[in-house]
Structure 1
Amino acid sequence: MTTDSGTGQRRPVKTVETAVGILELIKGRDGATLPELTDELDMAKSTVHRHLKTLENLDFVVEGDDGYRIGLRTLDFGIYARDQQSVFHEGKDRVEELADETGEKVWLITHERGRSVHLFSATGARSVRTPAREGNQGYLHQLAAGKAILASFSEERVRSIADEYGLPAETEATITDRDKLFDELASIRERGVAFNRGESIPKLNAVGAPITDSDGEAIAAISVSGPSNRVKGTYLTEELPERLLGVTNEIEINLSYAES
């Protein structure tokens, strides 16, 4: 990134933006050909080809019979980035234990630049399949864990995130109104956990609790989710929150001593 000395605003380097855009398109399409990328990017074929060859030389993409795919070199970057997160190391075993205890899907989710990042998951014996996978970026307001994180932020910070990314709907139940979101966040602060009733995936309910630092701000959150016909009633509102809060409290204590 470069800086505009007159305004202090950050100006993007176009070639980097193009290269990242190519990687995102290839990932989003599960592989793409040069003509497909040229059409999507609305750029000259020769320009896209030069970017692809540069990325290929650096092992970020690989060309095969069906076009280009993401190269495994990117895996090294992803694993390295996750390994830098102390909450991953402290939370991994607890997430797996919680999945075994509940039989449900359990996620450890963190945040970066106002977006959610799915850091690690464990699958219980009764868990259902969902599109989410480790490494996914998303919108905090759509997730139980994400709302638990937002509830620890100042109102100013939440407004800034909403200004930058909006409050897009994933389902009909997603909160898209700012006033309703702030009311929801206030309730989360009172009870200590956040609920998701079909807000990210229809017929899927979840409960999330934050993992906070010494200042009370969430560095991550854990959620437990399952089908709404099973994860409901006091199981959703009382039993799971009690288990979840015990786990997050344990991780917070371990983190505080690990960093001292």
Structure 2
Amino acid sequence: MSPPDSVNRPVKTTEYSIRILEALKSNPGQSLADLTEEFDIARSTIHRHLLTLEANDLIVRDEDGTFSLGLRLLDFGRRAREYVEFYDVARQQVDRLAEMTGEKVWLIAKEGDHSVHLYKAHGDNPLETSAQVGQRRNLHQLAAGKSILAFLPDDELDAILERRELEERTDSTITSEAVLREELADIRDRGYAFNIGESVTGLNAVGAPIRDEDGYPVGAISISGPAHRVKDSLLNEELPDKLLAALDEIHISLRYGMNG
């Protein structure tokens, strides 16, 4: 079960620093005046946080006096990704799937109520979307994310759906809990999920979960491509077959070891 979004006695100074980092992630190159205007926090307080973050190389000051995220954060993210137990084994299969299918393949991890994009391979598909490594997404908007939701314990699924609004990303995004639950039942039956323009209009995908020894979905892999190409038997038969075969190899490697 994921922890709640808030704590009883949050440390305000830490929250302020996190808010500044989030602001600079969304809109790099902001000045002290910009950040003071954005937050209901005293200018002097913002200034102290900026100086502290800068002194620790978490942000950098540009020549014009504005601030951006520092590359030290890349080291944190890289190390965090290395701690994901299935990352190395799954990454190899992602590369193989991209080579076999020619489509874009994503590896994601479940963290709390969200998915986190860990790794992608392009194949021959040059199509770029807004998805980036490190990005957090709502699970219900993605094929990979829905495949995770489908295999969660009932109590955890109920808790996530209670905490999280089913936000609309495109006109095709599922925003009804009843409709989502019905689809999750179908996903459990067949073992994989579809995304038909639900995260990006004109993009289709199939996704399936990476499950630990207890069957808990710790991550997932998806294969996606333009809807005009990824459709019919390719979407409904060929890609799911290749995806499930790759996941079988991942599960064998994780449970019995590469040399087992």
The verdict on a shared fold, with TM-score over 0.5 as the criterion, is: yes
Distance 1:11 1:171 in 2: 37
SS of structure 2 residue aligned to 1:86: coil
User: Does the aligned pair in 2 maintain the 1:127–1:226 contact within 8 Å?
Assistant: no
List runs of 5+ in structure 1 lacking aligned partners: 1-8
Per the alignment, residue 125 of structure 1 pairs with 124
- Partner letter of residue 63 of structure 1? R
Per the alignment, residue 242 of structure 1 pairs with 241
Per the alignment, residue 33 of structure 2 pairs with 35
Q: Structure 2-normalised TM-score?
A: 0.94
Q: Give the CA deviation at 1:161.
A: 1.0
Distance 1:164 1:65 in 2: 43
Report the aligned-residue RMSD. Answer: 1.3
Give the number of aligned pairs.
252
- Partner letter of residue 223 of structure 1? S
Q: Which residue among 23, 26, 30 is the counterpart of 2:21?
A: 23
Distance 2:93 2:46 in 1: 45
List runs of 5+ in structure 2 lacking aligned partners: 1-6
Distance 1:195 1:243 in 2: 14
Distance 1:158 1:185 in 2: 10
User: Does the aligned pair in 2 maintain the 1:34–1:45 contact within 8 Å?
Assistant: yes
Distance 2:59 2:128 in 1: 29
Runs of 4+ in 1 over 3 A off after TM superposition: none
User: Does the aligned pair in 2 maintain the 1:103–1:127 contact within 8 Å?
Assistant: no
Q: Give the CA deviation at 1:42.
A: 2.0
Q: Identity of paired residues, percent?
A: 48
- Partner letter of residue 112 of structure 2? R
Residue 237 of structure 2 is aligned to residue 251 of structure 1: no
Distance 2:187 2:14 in 1: 40
Distance 1:234 1:168 in 2: 30
User: Does the aligned pair in 2 maintain the 1:61–1:71 contact within 8 Å?
Assistant: yes
Distance 1:199 1:239 in 2: 21
Distance 2:130 2:25 in 1: 15
Residue 145 of structure 2 is aligned to residue 142 of structure 1: no
5 Å-filtered alignment, 1:85-104, equals 85-104=84-103
Q: Give the CA deviation at 1:245.
A: 0.2
Distance 2:59 2:103 in 1: 35
5 Å-filtered alignment, 1:65-80, equals 65-66=63-64, 67-80=66-79
User: Does the aligned pair in 1 maintain the 2:167–2:175 contact within 8 Å?
Assistant: yes
- Partner letter of residue 183 of structure 1? E
5 Å-filtered alignment, 1:30-69, equals 30-66=28-64, 67-69=66-68
Residue 174 of structure 2 is aligned to residue 175 of structure 1: yes
User: Does the aligned pair in 2 maintain the 1:104–1:123 contact within 8 Å?
Assistant: yes
Q: Give the CA deviation at 1:112.
A: 0.7
- Partner letter of residue 177 of structure 1? S
- Partner letter of residue 183 of structure 2? E
Per the alignment, residue 4 of structure 1 pairs with none
Distance 1:126 1:179 in 2: 35
Q: Give the CA deviation at 1:159.
A: 1.9
